[in-house]
Amino acid sequence: MGDRDTAPRAGPPEEAAHAPGTLAARLEEATTGLAQALDVRDVVRVVEGVHGADRVGPVTMLVGLVEKDRLHIIARGTDGTARALVTEYAALDSDDPLCEAVRTGKVRLIGTRAEFTGRHPRLARRLAAVPFGSAAFLPLVAQSRTLGALGVLFPGEFPGEEPFGAEGRSLYVGFASSLAQSLQRAILYDQAHDIAEELQETMLPRVEPFPGVEAAVRYRPARLRSELGGDWYDLVPLPDGRVGAFIGDVTGHDTKAAAVMGQLRIALRAYAAEGHAPTTVMARASVFLEELDTDRFATCLYAEIQPATGEVRLVRAGHLNPLLRQADGACRPLPVAGGLPLGLSAEFGGLEYPVTPVELAPDETLVLHTDGLVERPGTDLEEGCLELVEAVRTGPFPLEDLAEHLTAAMHPRTGDDDMALLLLRRTAPTRPRAPQRLHQHIAPSDPDSLATARGMLREAVRAWGIEERADDIELAADELITNSLIHTDGGAVITAVVRPGRARLLHLEVRDRSSSWPRRREPGDAGTSGRGLMLVELLSDDWGVESRGQGKSVWCEFRLPATATATGTATADPDADPDGGAAGPRAAADP
């Protein structure tokens, strides 16, 4: 039989179609599916939907895409036919029929098995068990570019010069054209989506292990968008062994939303790491976002966790409430008092963010998520939240398995938006870890911040085994902090460091941005002020004032009893003198 290469003639035998109208309807349905396909996987599903000997037309179809000098077979059928015919990757210069269609740009029509074996003897042995009699191979061309090839296998043999009818050829040539256009769109979509996903992943932090807290995170970009998103999560190590956890969502789905998200995440991380109280962290972040002069705002939820005690302080800025999964699997929403979204609260003067305290027992899990996990246009948000509660309740116990279960269970609702998920579980109880360095920021006019610093210092001093001097240290610190807040503008930073060496010392300093140095004054019998530094001098073994960059540091030191031993695990202090000297500890600047 002669070589029946045609251009652009191709298609199934009319006799194999049995009913041209039915074949046309089948291919029209597939063409409609191709028009709705987003990515290459969607295209493959449509093509494989045309397969099957129980359906009108071909036994199977196979599709190959050109990748440099190879042809990658992306659709190979479900009955093993295509796998016997071609390998997953084939060199474009090989004698495989799909590769020939790509190289020549012509349609290949093969009417019988004998003809196929004669033209491709290398494939004859592989074809012994393949139930096909004839085939057509069509190049896939879009905008004058050959993307790949389509192979169509038919059950019957059709010898002769014209075994393929005109109507069938026309139908399959049209289908190949639609397939090529859909593949071109899908390839561009996949490329843009992959770039967006890689960029988003590089902007999100890796989750590091924290003593007493286990974490699992998931992020998924929007299924129907190739742009960057504004959802994020973050975990921050805090002073005194605490852990800060953020989850949030910047409005919009574009590069600007991603840029704002990156800047806001860094700002929140910095404010939390400086030791600010949760309400102050949110307020400062809102002002920061408003000062960026962007039209975007952000919702956010911040959880500050003390693993040793299970104490959690939650602050919410227009975000969805978290969920609490108990150790027995029961799950319920945690109502958290909230304020306006970040950016809006600064613009409208509503920077109040109340703190909601929660106690997290061992093996209990906090579920923090963005609305992309539960919200879908046209459906009720409350319904999605109830579905998530049920998915959490029925999910497995291992945290990574639970995260995977939730993303899979809620997948039908996460098509139109990106999604971030953060799971936090308190592990088995541990003895409180008391690092030998305490570093805490105190905001001006913030009683909560001042009370938090006092409490942290009290707990740390006792945990370090210095109970005999705990009252003196706490009173001296209180005097230094109060003096700084009253007589200077802005906040203060308190740092307490246990200096190792033959004579162990506790070095306590309060730093502010004022260049005015305190003066030791004699208050007189009726005086109401001036006794602060006198008390510090009487209580401590040494004290002084030092210039520190744009501000100053007022410090004092306490010699510790030789029998005192720290019960906590020491953490390295980069500013400590290894010989036990009184080098000044590092203090964070008040932004």
pLDDT in tens, 144-189: 899 999 988 777 776 654 446 666 677 778 888 889 999 998 888 8
Which range among 52-61, 340-349, 499-508, 513-522 shows the weakest confidence by mean pLDDT?
A: 52-61
The reply to whether 74 falls in a domain is: yes
Least confident interval from 7-11, 384-388, 408-412: 7-11
Nearest to 10, CA basis, from 117, 122, 170: 170
Q: With 0.85 as the threshold, say if the pTM is over it.
A: no
**Residue 301 scores a pLDDT above 90:** yes
**DSSP letter string over 216-258?**
EEEEE--TT--S---EEEEEEE-GGG-EEEEEEEES-SSHHHH
Same domain, yes or no: 287 and 367:
yes
| 419 close to 373: Cβ distance less than 8 angstroms | yes
Tell me whether residue 548 is in a domain. yes
Per-residue pLDDT tens over the stretch 25-81: 777 888 888 888 888 888 888 887 775 444 445 667 888 899 988 988 888 765 555
Specify if 568 maps to a domain: no
Segment 526-551, tens digit of pLDDT: 444 557 788 888 999 999 888 876 78
User: Do 61 and 166 fall within a single domain?
Assistant: yes
Look at residue 39 and tell me if it is in a domain: yes
Domain boundary among 426, 453, 472: 426
Q: How far apart are CA 504 and CA 565, in angstroms?
A: 10
Mean pLDDT of all residues belonging to the chain = 79
Cα 512 to its chain centre, rounded Å, is: 37
Instruction: Express each pLDDT in 447-471 by its tens digit.
Output: 777 788 888 888 888 878 788 888 8
Checking if the pLDDT of 128 tops 50, the result is yes
In-domain check, residue 565: no
**Do 183 and 64 belong together in one domain?**
yes
Percent of the chain with pLDDT over 70: 77
Indicate whether 576 belongs to any domain.
Answer: no
- Which of 402, 426, 450 is the endpoint of a domain? 426
Domain of residue 458, CATH code: 3.30.565.10
User: What band does 262 get if pLDDT is binned at 50, 70 and 90?
Assistant: confident
CB atoms within 10 A of CB 44: 17
Do residues 455 and 404 both lie within one domain?
no
- Domain assignment present for residue 533? The answer is yes
d(CA 549, CA 448): 28
Q: Does the structure show a pLDDT above 50 at 587?
A: no
Last residue of a domain, one of 193, 223, 248: 193
The residue to which tokens 């941005």 are assigned: 513
- Is the same domain home to 394 and 446? no
* Residue closest to 307 by CA, chosen among 215, 457, 428, 438: 428
Q: Of the ranges 19-23, 70-74, 189-193, 325-329, which one carries the lowest mean pLDDT score?
A: 19-23
Q: Which of 156, 195, 150 is closest to 43 using CA atoms?
A: 150
Q: CA angle, 294 as apex, 289 and 299 as ends, to 5°? A: 50
Q: Are residues 403 and 257 in the same domain?
A: yes
Asked if the peptide bond before residue 8 counts as cis, ω within 30 degrees of 0, the response is yes
Neighbours of 533 (CB within 10 A): 20
- Pair of tokens at residue 435: 């690092």
pLDDT higher than threshold 80 for residue 112 = yes
> What is the CATH number for 351?
3.60.40.10
pLDDT higher for 581 or 409?
Answer: 409
Q: Which residue has the higher pLDDT, 402 or 504?
A: 402
Distances in whole angstroms, Cα of residue 95 to Cα of each of 85, 116, 225, 281, 313: 12, 12, 40, 67, 68
* pLDDT of amino acid 221: 74
Mean pLDDT value of segment 464-490 = 84
What pLDDT is attached to residue 519? 67
Residue 169 lies in a domain: yes
Q: Does one domain contain both 32 and 152?
A: yes
Our count of domains for the chain comes to 3
Q: Which residue has the tokens 């074809």?
A: 127
Say if residue 481's pLDDT is above 90: no
- Rounded CA gap, 467 and 490, in Å? 32
Do 146 and 210 fall into the same domain? no
Instruction: Tell me which residue range forms the domain holding 47.
Output: 5-193
